Amino acid sequence: MNHKQQIIDEAENTFYKTYNRFPVVFDHGKGVHLYDSEGQEYLDFGAGIAVMGLGYDDEEFKTALKDQIDKLLHVSNLFYNQPSVEAGEKLLKASGMEKVFFTNSGTEAIEGAMKIAIRHAYNKTGNHEHEIIAMKNSFHGRSLGALSVTGNDHYQEPFKPLIPGIRFAEFNNLESVKALVNEKTCAVLMETIQGEGGIYPASEEFIKGVKKICDDNGILLMLDEIQCGMGRSGKMFAWQWYGVKPDVITVAKALGNGVPIGAFLARGEAAKAMVPGDHGTTYGGNPFVTAAASKVLDLFEKRNIPEHAAAMGEYLHEKLKALKGECSVIKECRGKGLMQGIELTVPAAPVVNNALLEQKLVLISAGSHVIRFVPPLVIEKADVDEMILRLKEALNAGAE
């Protein structure tokens, strides 16, 4: 048995079976490329599901992590530490928010946002009759709370009953939101760009209309920027394209460039909603992960990463549109910045599989018929050109 197969077999015997993994063992990365255990090079347009914004093996980022390892990894939130303060200040500056709470993941950030909404409503009314409006076709995470606001029956069904008081509107349909608002509504939660649901950016009319509904009714607007935030849309946060400022935002993924960290941020009344004892975390915001986030934020500013993502996203979108003219299986191209998707007339899974195993191109799907492109934000035009060549071969094979 070869080494690769041994690792795969041991993994299948060891791990809880909740993933259907591809038969590839990745060993290391460099820039926008991954290398498997057999030394084969792959062009990565998945970035660990939109995580590796700076790509792999970035020297400045690695140095910051090594320096912090030599100092302090963890002390708990019973005490103060400098990296968490520095990361928090930088994230607040980038977002224009007032308060931040560091978590271990995006899912936990959603849980915190939901607690802000409910606590804020309780502070105002003194009762427990509250509702949150979420969106159909959305995805916010796998915990029971995050599943409760995820508008997809496939994910929800085995785990019902979920948290009550969640009502679902149609994304980019303002009238459907208006129809659900009542005296119990305390928040509207949505992704600024739907990710798992198929790469659907919010329309300007919709997001501005939802913001007005929230302002007119004393409702919190909570935007999930876990995937579309941190420069991926071409601005630091996708909502900045619309000139609409939310009350609460959630971030994660590229914030740590591979180190597990998330955050929820708030402003105004939402920033004052919770008091000591309302929320907590053992690992969240420890010196190691916040040193990583602090360096990520520094490098994003120093290297103009969001602006680069905007330029490369425009180039990628044009190349995908041109490919649509050559490949009849591409039904539509959509997205913003370096969060792009193509909807196919055929299932996406065989195309993704062929791209990985035959073309050495890492792609991920978003639903049954959509391929999403969320590469490291440091890609260049040559990487896009090479990806298009490999994608075309995979599309032709998948359509056969």
Q: Is 16 contained in some domain?
A: yes
Are residue 292 and residue 337 in the same domain, yes or no?
no
Q: Is 261 contained in some domain?
A: yes
Distance of CA 274 to the CA centre of its chain: 25
Point out the domain boundary residue: 275, 302, 329: 302
Name every residue whose Cβ is closer than 8 Å to that of residue 34 and which is 6 or more positions away in sequence. Answer: 26, 28, 41, 42, 44, 56, 362
In angstroms, the Cα distances linking 174 to 25, 132, 171 are 45, 16, 8
What percent of the chain has pLDDT above 90? 97
Q: Is 345 contained in some domain?
A: yes
Are residue 340 and residue 210 in the same domain, yes or no?
no
| Selection from 27, 48, 40 nearest residue 364 by Cα | 48
Are residue 95 and residue 39 in the same domain, yes or no?
no
Point out the domain boundary residue: 280, 302, 324: 302
Which contacts (CB < 8 Å, 24+ apart) does range 85-92 have? 86/290, 86/294, 87/285, 87/290, 87/291, 87/293, 87/294, 87/297, 88/285, 88/290, 90/293, 90/294, 90/297, 90/298, 91/251, 91/255, 91/263, 91/265, 91/293, 91/297, 92/265
Q: Is 65 contained in some domain?
A: no
The average confidence (pLDDT) of the chain is 96
Range of the domain at 158: 71-302
The whole-model pTM stands at 0.96
Are residue 286 and residue 211 in the same domain, yes or no?
yes
Q: Is 51 contained in some domain?
A: yes
Q: Residue 27 belongs to a domain with what CATH number?
A: 3.90.1150.10
Are residue 236 and residue 192 in the same domain, yes or no?
yes
Q: From the CB of residue 392, how many other CB atoms can be counted at a distance below 10 Å? A: 14
In angstroms, the Cα distances linking 313 to 310, 330, 376, 389 are 5, 18, 11, 17
Point out the domain boundary residue: 302, 320, 351: 302
Q: What is the pLDDT of residue 399?
A: 61
Q: Into how many domains does the chain fold?
A: 2
Confidence of residue 2 (pLDDT cuts 50, 70, 90): confident
Name every residue whose Cβ is closer than 8 Å to that of residue 400 and which is 6 or more positions away in sequence. Answer: none
Are residue 392 and residue 356 in the same domain, yes or no?
yes
Tens digits of per-residue pLDDT, 111-142? 999 999 999 999 999 999 999 999 999 999 99
Are residue 49 and residue 98 in the same domain, yes or no?
no
Are residue 34 and residue 77 in the same domain, yes or no?
no
Residue 220, beta-bridge partner list:
187
Query: Distance between CA 382 and CA 373 in Å, rounded?
Result: 15
Q: From the CB of residue 4, how many other CB atoms can be counted at a distance below 10 Å? A: 15
Q: Is 66 contained in some domain?
A: no
Are residue 14 and residue 149 in the same domain, yes or no?
no
Query: Distance between CA 255 and CA 300 in Å, rounded?
Result: 10
Q: Is 192 contained in some domain?
A: yes
Confidence of residue 275 (pLDDT cuts 50, 70, 90): very high
Say whether 381 sits in a helix, a strand or coil.
helix
Q: Is 64 contained in some domain?
A: no
Are residue 272 and residue 164 in the same domain, yes or no?
yes
